[in-house]
Structure formats: structure tokens, C-alpha cells
Amino acid sequence: MRSSRFAFTAAGGLILSVALVACGGSGERAENEILIAVIFDLTGPTADVGLDYAEGVQGHVEWLNARGGVGGRPVRLIYQDYGYQVDRAEQLYTQFVQEGALIFMGWGTGDTEALRLRIAEDRIPFSSASLSHVLGDAHESPYNFLVATSYSDQFRIVLRWIAEDHRANGGEGNARVAFMHNASPFGLSPWVQGGEDYAREIGVHVTPYEMPRGATDYTAEFSRIGQSGATYVVFQNTSAPAAVALRNARGLGIDATFVCLNWCANALLWRLAADAAEGVVGAIPWAPLTADVPGVRDIRDYLESRGDDYGDKTNAYTQGWWTMAVFVEGIRRVLDAGQELTGENIKRALETIDGLDTGGAGPPLTFTPSDHRGSKGLRLFRAEDGRWTPLTEVLTAP
Amino acid sequence: MESGVFHTDYRTDMGLRRVPAERLRLGLFAAALLVFPFLASPYWLNLANQIAIATIGALGLNILVGYTGQVSLGQGAFMAVGAYTSALLTLRLGLPWGVSIVAACFATAAVGVFFGLPSLRLKGLYLAISTLAAQEIVEWVVTHWPALTGGVEAVVVPAPRLFGQRLNTDFGFYWVGIVLAGATALFTANLFRSRIGRSFVAVRDQDIAASVIGVNVFGTKLLAFATSSFFVGLAGALTAYYRNIISWERFTLETSVLYLAMIIVGGLGTIRGSLFGAALITLLPAMIATAGRELQQSAPAVAALLPSVQQAAFGLVIILFLVFEPAGLSKLWRNVKDYFYVWPFAYRRGEGR
């Protein structure tokens, strides 16, 4: 009894002290600082790619501030891990907006959907790492901006490439594709938002397969895929589960061409799947850090100046970096026009971006008042000897 | 002179609050609740609303698990039924929000009874596994029946309005939340003073003995499933209207486990435990996270480790509770009261109340 009372006093004290720290003032804030809020997934199910994305976003801000900020004003990030939990995202959103954030950068499809209506009401420009097609519809989601090719466009580009590749290799009849996706809105988004219709239109036979969260074995799925005669497998998932599936498929001797959309086509796939990743085709909107283009060189110089090895980072880093860069461009345009810095003005400024040069890191970006899908095209890469080597030129979504 | 509180009639003796101190505390708590939204920032209001919803859900779960002893892992599923039913009734049939919330509660109660049927034969862990099936089945139906539920896509719920005012703002919803949470607590408190409620407890404590004294065990279990699911459905429906947008990701097995954690940490089979548990489980991660943000500025190296520490700290608190105070926060609160009852003396006469 005595010891339990002591332990409880201790535990109570601990909770109380955490609460006190938590309630304390949130630091001084310079007068001309520009506040941008971000939530990252550092501990949740998509943390495998979330870490690099987070570092990319932070890296860009540090790089920018070292060069004097935007229009002479420094940018301050307020950020927090939300562990892929929608409730946490909503709490953090209210907290950050209240602290004066002008822009909010979300992460997953779930939290972005959950906040879509509120950001429009609060007039907070919003980007997400989720590239769900509907989020680019400026009528439905007026404050969401997609800074890369939407999942649906990526999938359509891949399907068209598959149809051509199938013919070029002398395949008979229609190409058969297995679409293996994360069991979530993120996973199904390319399929339900236009992918299914397009596949029917061009005569590619696609069957979707769900990849349950946390699965360590996909033998059942692959035996069905093997029986269906599919010769292409497209993944819409993050690197870790895709790597598990790849190793599994190689082990089972599945003879198919594997294609990764966006979130599994990165250096992490190599690290996790090793040889099993050889020959995988990647739909990559933002170039890997190994690409020698001006838009990536800035990032490499920055990382080297910090003594970091860019070889360790994935293209999620590039995506984080450039997502932030696009918003900074919006802010710059508002300041250059001498307007007041508000969410609404930043949104309008972003809508004037026409053919923003990303230095080859991605295709040029264009936003209009009716279309917030920044780019419609991407390059396909192929994994060869531990590197993503360009396979095609920039392809535009049909 | 009277030294102590003596009840001289049945009415006061059977009152919910029998001692002046209890009434005073309740009054203070109510006053704090009334003043809170005028002082609090939207962030705290947001948390308060989340706690209100969680309290309703935890009370519901406590009726089933804490009072009737039927362990359920289907909380997330039942919340999903409530949320989707209310959202779709408004969206597809144009029913007013009040009507569809009530309809959603009854629908969830019906679904709860259906998944409670295995309790005829199953007890304890076996029943828990069969409610796990409920969780999986409902999740599967929601994600694989796009014609009805919109599938994996999020469902946008029309904003509830009262007298032309939108109710799903942080401030507006606060009143809905506390009134309904208060009503749920009052109902639950009274339920367990009634014959039906006592039979729930009898089934929990010893089902064979209960049947010997004339309790219809199976019927009682089903009634517990229905009552519990009714409130869980209410929590789900409120989530839908408060958040405006729902998707299945909100109602996973993780939700079920979190609610179980709430009632265990709070105190099984107590009403204030449901409130305490809901508050702790909601506030703790938020607090740890905010503390982490403070460290981002003062100690960035520590802050970098924090996301992982957060999860460990959360787990640690729950383990500490289970080890040192299995009866939960509710017992802790009673210990505090007992201590001050005779303060500054060390012992009190007789048993603690």
C-alpha cells in the first residue's frame, strides 16, 4: 500500500510536470517570421518514407533561411509527428492555425480528407504528401494543392506504358495487370479515381488486390496472381510492404514486370528488397538524389555542407524539399506584389504559377484557379544495379 | 449535535449524491464546465469535445465490459455503424441530424445485439475473439460496399444546424457534447440502481448464481450489448457530425483497443472512471507531444528522439496503472478523498466508503 502510494505520487508528479511544460509559453516569435505548420509521420505505418519527407521539408527551410529567407523574412516551421492518426492531425491543425500558421502541410490521404473542408473555411493553403486525384479539383477542394502528378495520373501513365510494353514484347491479346494496393484510401485512390475507367478504355485487364496492413506474407495473393496469368504487377504502397511483396514474389518465382508508383519507388526499396528490386519500374514524380540535375544539386550541396551522405536519402526527400519550395514561391509572389500575407493571397499567388522550373527535379509546375494539379507528367525509371536509371522521357498523363 | 450525515428518509438515502460535499463538488465541476469554453482556446475546446465524445463511448463500453463483464473488441466497429448510419441517413435520405443520430443509436444497438448472440455460448476471451470478428466484418463491409458507404473514400457529412447556427464549430459542439455526455452519465448511474442494471452486475459476478436467482442470463447479456452499443453508436454519430468527414480509418481495431485502455485506466465499472480514462487517454499523447515541441527549441537533440519516446511513455503509463492501481483512476480519486476525509489524522474509523 505504501509503495503503491509512493509510485502514484511519482506518476502523478510526472504527468503534472509534463502538463506544466505543455501548457507553458510556446517560445518567442520574431516579428517578421512566416509560420508554416507541418505534420509528419515519424512513428506511424508510413514512417518508412515519412522520415525522409520530413527531413526534406526541414532541410529546405534551413537552406532557405541561411540564404536570407523569403523576401528578407525568415520562415519558421512548427511541426509535430502525428503517427498517421486522423484525430491527432485535427488537434494539431487547430493548435497550429491558432498559433498563426499561414500554410499547413499534411501527410496522408486520411488526414488530408478530414481537414479538406476546414482548411477551405479557414483559408489555409494545404499540401499533402497524398496525391489523391480529387484533392487537385479546385472546385471540391479550393485550398488543396498537389505539387506532383496525382496517383491517378501516375497509374494511367503506367497503364499506357504497360499496354505499349506488352505489344512491343510480342504479347498476345490484352495485357493482364495485378494492382496491389495498400488497404486504405491512399491505396485505392488511383484505381477508383479514373484508373479503372482508363484500363477498360485502352483494353488492359486489371485486377486489384488488397495488401493488408502489417502483412508479412503475400503467398495467397501471388498464387492468385500467378493463376490469373498477369504479367505486370503494379504496387501502390510504401516501400516497406512493397519490398516484402517483392521478396515474396521472387521467392515464389513469379515471372512478371513489377511497377512501383510514387511511394515505393525509392532508394529504400533497394535497401529493403536488395536483389529482388532489380528490374522494378518506378513512376517517380520527383527525381532521386542520385540524378544529376540542377533541381537536385541544390539539395546535394546542402546535405554535403552538413556532412550528410545524400546516398542515404530517398526521393521522398526531394518531394519534401520541393513541396516546401513551391509554397515558398507562393509566399514570394505575394510579398513581391506588396500584398498582405494571408492564406487567401497565397492561394491566389500559387494559382498564378505557370510552368515553374524545378530544375529537372520534377516536371514544370502549373496551377490555375480551376486546376490545382501542379503537374500531369513524370518519368519512368528502372532499377538497375542499385540505381534508378531513367527508362523514358517525361510522359504526360493521357 | 449531529456529527456526520444522517439520512432520515429513503429519498435522501437513495439520492445519487448523498453528502453535501458531493453536491458541492458536482456544482463546482458543472460551473467549471460552463465557464471553460469562454476561456479556452480552440485547441483546448477541440480536445474537450474529443473527451466528451470519448466519455460517451467509454461509458457505453463500460456498461458492457465493466458492469456486465463481456469483453468486447468491437468498439471501433460499433462506432463506425453509428457514424455511417447517421451520416448516410442525412446524406441519402435528407433526414435532419437529430433524427438520424437517434436512428443511428438504435441501428447500432441492433447490430450490437446481433454480434452479442455468440455470448449465449461464449465467455471471456472466447467472446472477445468473436467481437473481434465483428470489428473485422464491419470494417470489411464499410470498405467493400462503395454503393452504400462510399467505400474507402471519405464521406462528407452535412453540417448540423440549430436555429441557423452551425453546431459543428468547436464552441457550438461543446454544448452538444457536454449535454449528451452528462445525460449518458446520468442514465448509466441510474441504470445500475435499477433491477435491470443489478442483473447486469449479477451476470458479471457469477452467471450461474445469477440464473439461480432468476436472472435470464442470455437476455441480460443481449440487453447489455444493446444498451452499450446504443451509446457507442451515439459516440460514433457525434464523431461524424463534429468532424464533418468520416472515413473507415477512424474506426479501426486501434480505436477498440484505445477505448478498452480508457476504461481500464479509468476504472472498470465506474462512471467517473469512464470520464477520467477518456480524458487521460486523449490528453496524454497531446501533452507529451506539446512538451516535445517545447523541446524542439530548447533541446533539439532530445526532441529528435521524442516521437519514439512518446509511444513508450504512453505504454509505460498504462502499465504503471495496471501494476500499481488496477482499479484505475477512479480508485485513485477515492484514495484522495479518503485521505482528506480525516486529514490531518492518519486513520479513519471503519471501512472507507
pLDDT tens-digit profile of A332-346? 999 999 999 999 999
Tell whether the model's pLDDT for residue A36 goes beyond 60: yes
B146 touches chain A (CB under 8 A): yes
Tell whether the model's pLDDT for residue B81 goes beyond 90: yes
A283: β partners:
A261, A380
- Whole-number Cα distances in Å, A304 to A301, A308, A311, B228, B232: 5, 5, 11, 59, 54
Q: What share of chain B is helix, strand, coil (3-state, %, to 5)?
A: 75, 0, 20
CA dist B295 and B37 (Å) reads 28
* pLDDT, greater one: B350 or A350: A350
The pTM (predicted TM-score) of the whole model is 0.81
CB A324 within 8 A of CB A60: yes
CB A346 within 8 A of CB A334: yes
Cβ–Cβ of B244/A118 closer than 8 Å?
yes
Alpha helices in A261-311 (DSSP H): 267-273, 294-305
CA dist B32 and B48 (Å) reads 12
Torsion, Cα B164 B169 B175 B179, to 10 degrees, reads 100
CA dist A383 and A288 (Å) reads 12
Q: Which helix (H) or strand (E) holds B159?
A: none
What is the reported pLDDT for B183?
96
B292 touches chain A (CB under 8 A): yes
* Distance of residue B302 Cα from the nearest chain A Cα, in angstroms: 14
Minimal-distance CA residue of chain A relative to B46: A91
Those residues whose C-beta lies under 8 Å from the C-beta of residue A397, and which sit 6 or more positions away, are: A149, A152, A153, A154, A156, A157, A376, A377
Residue A184: list chain B partners with CB under 8 A.
Answer: 152, 249
* pLDDT, greater one: A214 or A145: A145
Residue range A344-359: average pLDDT?
Answer: 91
Burial of B343 (0-12, 13-18, 19+ CB in 10 A): exposed
Cβ–Cβ of A22/B286 closer than 8 Å?
yes
Torsion, Cα A46 A52 A55 A56, to 10 degrees, reads -110
Cβ–Cβ of A98/B293 closer than 8 Å?
no
What is the reported pLDDT for A59?
93
CA dist B264 and A83 (Å) reads 23
A52 alpha-carbon distance from chain centroid: 10
What is the reported pLDDT for A48?
83
A381 alpha-carbon distance from chain centroid: 17
CA dist A198 and A212 (Å) reads 25
Set out the domains of chain A in order of their start, with CATH numbers.
34-149+292-367 (3.40.50.2300), 152-284+381-396 (3.40.50.2300)
Determine the longest span between alpha carbons in chain A, in angstroms.
81
In the chain, the amino acid numbered A88 is R
In three state form, how does the secondary structure of A186-219 look? HHHHHHHHHHHHHHHHHCCEEEEEEECCCCCCCH
- Is residue A45 reached through a cis peptide bond, with omega within 30 degrees of 0 on the bond before it? no
Q: What is the pLDDT of residues A73-95, one digit of tens each?
A: 999 998 888 888 888 888 889 88
B151 touches chain A (CB under 8 A): yes
B239 alpha-carbon distance from chain centroid: 13
* CA angle at A134 for the pair A372 and A137, rounded to the nearest 5°: 35
* Distance of residue B12 Cα from the nearest chain A Cα, in angstroms: 34
Q: Cell 519558421 belongs to which residue?
A: A76
CA dist B233 and B48 (Å) reads 19
Max mean pLDDT among A196-200, B40-44, B150-154, B229-233 falls in B229-233
What is the reported pLDDT for B352?
47
Residue range A93-103: average pLDDT?
Answer: 88
CA dist B275 and B186 (Å) reads 12
B275 touches chain A (CB under 8 A): no
CB B189 within 8 A of CB B271: yes
Share of chain B above pLDDT 90, in %: 50
pLDDT confidence tier of residue B277, bands split at 50, 70 and 90: very high
Tell whether the model's pLDDT for residue B333 goes beyond 60: yes
pLDDT confidence tier of residue B349, bands split at 50, 70 and 90: low
Cβ–Cβ of A188/B292 closer than 8 Å?
no
Q: What is the pLDDT of residues A222-245, one digit of tens each?
A: 999 988 889 999 999 988 899 999
Q: Which helix (H) or strand (E) holds A277?
A: none
Mean pLDDT, all residues of chain A = 86
B250 touches chain A (CB under 8 A): yes
Cβ–Cβ of A42/B285 closer than 8 Å?
no
Cβ–Cβ of A5/B146 closer than 8 Å?
no
* CA angle at B329 for the pair B327 and B334, rounded to the nearest 5°: 85
Those residues whose C-beta lies under 8 Å from the C-beta of residue B156, and which sit 6 or more positions away, are: A117, B91, B244, B245
Share of chain A above pLDDT 90, in %: 38
Q: Which helix (H) or strand (E) holds A321?
A: helix A315-336
Q: How many CA atoms lie within 13 A of B258 on its CB side?
A: 24
| Nine-digit cell string for A321 | 524539399
Tell whether the model's pLDDT for residue B107 goes beyond 60: yes
- Whole-number Cα distances in Å, B166 to A362, A383, B37, B43, B62: 43, 53, 16, 18, 32
* Three-class secondary structure of residue A38 per DSSP: strand
Tell whether the model's pLDDT for residue A366 goes beyond 50: yes
- Picking from A60, A58, A42, the residue whose alpha carbon sits closest to that of residue A50 is A42
Dihedral pair phi/psi, residue B226, rounded to 5°: -65, -50
CA dist A70 and B236 (Å) reads 44
Q: What is the pLDDT of residues B119-177, one digit of tens each?
A: 888 888 899 999 999 999 998 888 888 788 877 777 888 888 788 778 878 888 999 99
Least confident piece of the model among A120-124, A200-204, A312-316: A312-316
CA dist A343 and A341 (Å) reads 7
* Three-class secondary structure of residue B227 per DSSP: helix
What is the reported pLDDT for A23?
46
* Three-class secondary structure of residue A100 per DSSP: coil
* DSSP letter (8 states) at residue A26: -
Q: How many CA atoms lie within 13 A of B216 on its CB side?
A: 6
Tell whether the model's pLDDT for residue B341 goes beyond 80: no
What is the reported pLDDT for A231?
92
Residue range B5-22: average pLDDT?
Answer: 78
Tell whether the model's pLDDT for residue B340 goes beyond 70: yes
